[in-house]
Chains A and B, each alone.
Chain A
Amino acid sequence: MQTYSSSTTTLEDAGASRTQVKEHIQSLVDALNGVLLGKEQQIKLALACIFARGHLLIEDLPGMGKTLLSHALAKTLGLSYNRIQFTSDVLPSDIIGATIFDKQTNAFRFVEGPLFAQVVLADEINRATPKSQSALLEAMEERQVTTDGESLPLPEPFFVIATQNPSTQAGTFPLPESQLDRFLMRIELGYPEPAAERELLLNGDRRVVAEQLQALLNLSELRQIQAAVDAIKVSEPLVDYVQRLVAFSRQGTEFAFGLSPRGALALMQSAKSWALLHNRSHVVPEDVQAILPSVVEHRLRESADFAGHGGGALAQKLLGSVDVVS
């Protein structure tokens, strides 16, 4: 496997920037921990996703702190952000923007929609109709939108942090596979630990804390971290492991379909990001195992239950069946 090193980081200041990166990450994790109590694993996964330049999907029941986490992420990363509340009557033009007639200049003018921000919080994305959901498709993959036959670039960096309710909830339209595949990770928050919940109950709503959050990074620092992810090294035995995982998903009879090359790439990129979060210069199998459920669950279907969500069991099956060492 070739090791990719960022051109912006020279060898001399690599050590210095390493410590910087480490400090930044630690401060981010600490700040977010203060908002969402007892969810360090999920917070790290969310950060790993952002550092790997991926879009994030947070799925859970209402009231679990999905929106809170996404807000806190956008704020601490110091990025411009817009929130789109998806409902069943949201139209694509409500997201992308629309061309309107300007009386003063006597010309048509494109008014940018909420999509034109560095972080787009797509709240309850699966409550929108497929038509509106698909307005996000191009934006997420190409990082541009096309309206009236014209392609407009989106801000750089561009992240979609979407939240959704489990599809079994009333009034939801399940996201199509093509769109799910564009999310690097899907995380679930889950109920808080008793101790964390106790603290929550004692100290009141965390939204106030979230309001007071400061931007902890600037743009160049975020880019530095992203470059550091790319510079994480990967060895032959580890690539073999990832390839065995992917091959198993393609050959196993339980899987309706295997992981796509994009899925394999996502696995590798997320593992690198996770390795960076844990202050390693190279990826170890533990990294792959840690991020694998979040990366593959929403990409897999059980062949026995094609329409359903068997992803969780399948991810465990993958982990339990594929040998770490060949």
Chain B
Amino acid sequence: MSRNDQSVPGLRKADFWTGLVLVAISVFMLVETLGYPLEGSYAGVRNAWYVSPALLPLIVSAFLILLSCSLLATAVRAGAASAALADVTPRALRGHAGAARDIWIVAFVLGGYIYCLVPYVDFTAATALTLLTLAAAYHLPTARVRKAGLAVFACAIAAVLLATFAAGWRPQPRSTGADLRDLAVWAAFLAAAVSVAWAAGAPERRRWRRCLVVALGTSLILSVVFKWGLLVPLPVEGVTINTLDAARRLLLLR
């Protein structure tokens, strides 16, 4: 991380906001802690203030309140309070959002992957789609490509969430519905590949192919290595792993 990607006034402005957030968090922590038992006995253990589960949280929240107030004070003394408040205009906010574009892209793709795909659909398919989206967005860096990839990704997430919702959030693994959903993610992968190729155009064919190879290769290799090499089961073993497993058993005649 480069050391100087923020100016000192910028830092003080950020400190103002973090100071406020930290005060809120630590005060909340303190209030929660006050409800913990300080005497008597709990679970057969004789309690006293120095044995209480509240001891460390009390110390920590007290220090955090002091430290965050000091952070706030430094920011205010540097004149950051008015600057920070002046920042809360729609225009300034739009400017900030633009500057932070990459955070939102990575957060959206990784967040979508972790919260919406990994817990519900075939790990290999989800990983291939995510890798393709991320790699395409940065390896073929034009706005058109980025938008094409992200749009397909967003559609896939929406579809998966809808299907999972329809199945009552806790679908039985190894059911036809689950298999169809996994295949839908693979279809989204194909759609993403095609739309990215179309958006990137012919001159970028080589880079496009590289993204595709990385996405497919990594997801397959990782799935196989973790499942059978390291004996770590994947979060959801859906259509891809089951197919590979069936193929393995046919080959080994077991």
On whether the two chains bind one another, the answer is: no
Task: Mark A residues whose CB is within 8 Å of B.
Answer: none
**Chain B residues within CB distance 8 Å of chain A:** none
